[in-house]
Structure 1
């Protein structure tokens, strides 16, 4: 049965914006994550806890990136989906799997660094590769449980006699999806973000308190930690937070204010703009968090006597 498209919503701009944005994410993400994975897997002799987390981040990014050509073709062809029901579900699932997997792994890295800076001696027993593997496994299990309903909600349908792959779910199912979308925002984004924010606030306080009491090597490590804190916060501010805010507004308007054409057009516009931009976290995270660490590990001059990496 053909579903009529809401007359208030005109999304012709996405046929130019989305193919272009996804193409940029695909090229940059493939190069950066591929290079990082190659460096860490082929040239890193000893994997640390951080390396384990970051390699898992790269794998999550690459799984999402490999699905982008389907979306690029879909939007370039004016929203005509050619790849069947199963691939429609997998594309939507991989997007959310990467998104919330990245957030949880960033949370693991933040807690790991928080313990190393604020409790450097007492945390040694907890900063082991075995616990890092357990942490990544638990993260993936939680993410799978969180995003599993997306396989049910995402499916193909017909609009104006054309086969489409719904972004979130079909228009007649938005009321049911609304509750799931809000729960996913709280559990997948807001709670991890609060944990990261608390860790980084405590880390900054600890780093400020130790200023002037450390040697040159420790000062360099402190500066590196502060840069990492700012970069992760920037990643949330630029990519992750705007997407979740605009998606929450979009869902609310679609369910509760759908008769207000101007409001619905604005909410749709901002959501459609930020949806591809959130994929930039697949490019920024290896650029700022992963590749530099692997390069440091390749450089014999980076390690100082008595200094260990984690």
Structure 2
């Protein structure tokens, strides 16, 4: 007999136990989290600098992008603790309250990123498909209210993580559960399933519907031609920004969030079925689902590196601010030169 789990959770399944060989995660997770930490922190710090210090007038899209960047930054700041934990082969050297806090921040900011990407997509959808009505519907004040509502929703929905997460002494050291202790796993499965539906599946469907309608609108022959030549140029720029945003956001959902949630749901379901009826799920099948889940976890973290690209490429603000700064410096240099000549 042996034991098994995600992050070495141990539990009894009638008289049946499974043992997994998970040594690969002690290399995969620390290395991938370290890469995300270095790259993501640099990109998000740059985005925050431009938004906070180089953006004078905050549009609704700027407000959503600021909150998305804050989510990613707070998420990234939890990674050093997890890098140390997994590099030390599941031996948590810190206190239980810190374990709870790190797990809470990890998932709260992950789902915060998903919801703010959904907000950005809805904002662009309204501007493309209902340009006249968007003048009345969209405002910086409403964007701030929506952002507060998103943060409240995320904190409320992720608060149970503070209860479920805990530490326990094991053969390998002190385990900081990614899920929860064995006796609470059934309750955790219900909670995790509800959160996955409300904070991933629903936003994902909203994003897909919005982008489907946006693409159909952008492909209309007469779209953007009402304002003459100047209006046509502006429409082309808007179309290019919208296409870039669609590609980046869909790539984030399809490559980062979708594989993570599918493999996690599969693993949790197999684990539960193994507890209920061990004959239904073999150890090999359970191990395969566990490996798949752990392999996709770095993909979920990689969204923190992709999100700033949404701002740099689709937002245009960075380039315009940097261009203005460069022009201003050039003009000042020219003035100094002329003054010197005089």
Inter-partner Cα distance in structure 2 for 1:48 and 1:297: 15
Q: Work out whether residues 37 and 55 of structure 1, in 8 Å CA contact, stay in contact via their aligned partners in 2.
A: yes
Cα distance change, pair 10–35 in 1 and its aligned pair in 2 (3 A):
same
The match for 2:286 among 264, 270, 277 is 264
**In the alignment, what sits opposite 2:318?**
295
Are 2:225 and 1:225 aligned? Answer: no
Query: What is residue 122 of structure 2 aligned with on the other side?
Result: 111
- Show CA shifts across 1:206-255 (max 9, x none): 10014575312311221221121121111100000000000100110111
Q: Which structure exhibits the higher relative contact order, with contacts defined as CA atoms closer than 8 Å and separated by 6 or more residues?
A: 1
Map 1:75-114 onto structure 2 (within 5 A).
Answer: 75-114=86-125
Residue 213 of structure 2 is aligned with which of 198, 202, 209? 202
Give unmatched runs, 5+ long, in structure 2.
1-7, 12-16, 226-231, 326-342
Q: Residue 85 of structure 2 aligns with which residue?
A: 74
Q: CA deviation at 1:161?
A: 6.0
Residues 77-116 of structure 1: per-residue CA shift (max 9 Å, x gap): 1110001101111111111111111111111111111110
- Look up the SS of the partner of 1:185 in the other structure: helix
* Cα separation, 2, equivalents of 1:45 and 1:178: 46
Q: 1:193 to 1:122 in 2, by over 3 A?
A: same
* Aligned equivalent of 1:164, options 175, 183, 199: 175
Give TM-score scaled by structure 1 length.
0.92
1:122-137 equivalences in 2 (<5 Å): 122-137=133-148
> Which has the larger Rg?
2
Q: 1:277 to 1:59 in 2, by over 3 A?
A: same
Partner of 1:306: none
Q: Which runs of 4+ in 1 moved over 4 A?
A: 2-6, 210-213
Q: In the superposition, relative to structure 1, how do residues 189 and 37 fare at CA in structure 2: closer, same or farther (>3 Å)?
A: same
Q: Structure 1: which 5+ runs fail to align?
A: 302-310
- Correspondence 1:1-310 to 2 at 5 A: 4=10, 7-160=18-171, 162-210=173-221, 214=225, 215-258=232-275, 259=278, 260-287=282-309, 289-292=310-313, 293=315, 294-298=317-321, 299-300=323-324
Between Structure 1 and Structure 2, how many residues are aligned? Answer: 299
Alpha-carbon distance in structure 2 between the residues aligned to 1:7 and 1:243:
23
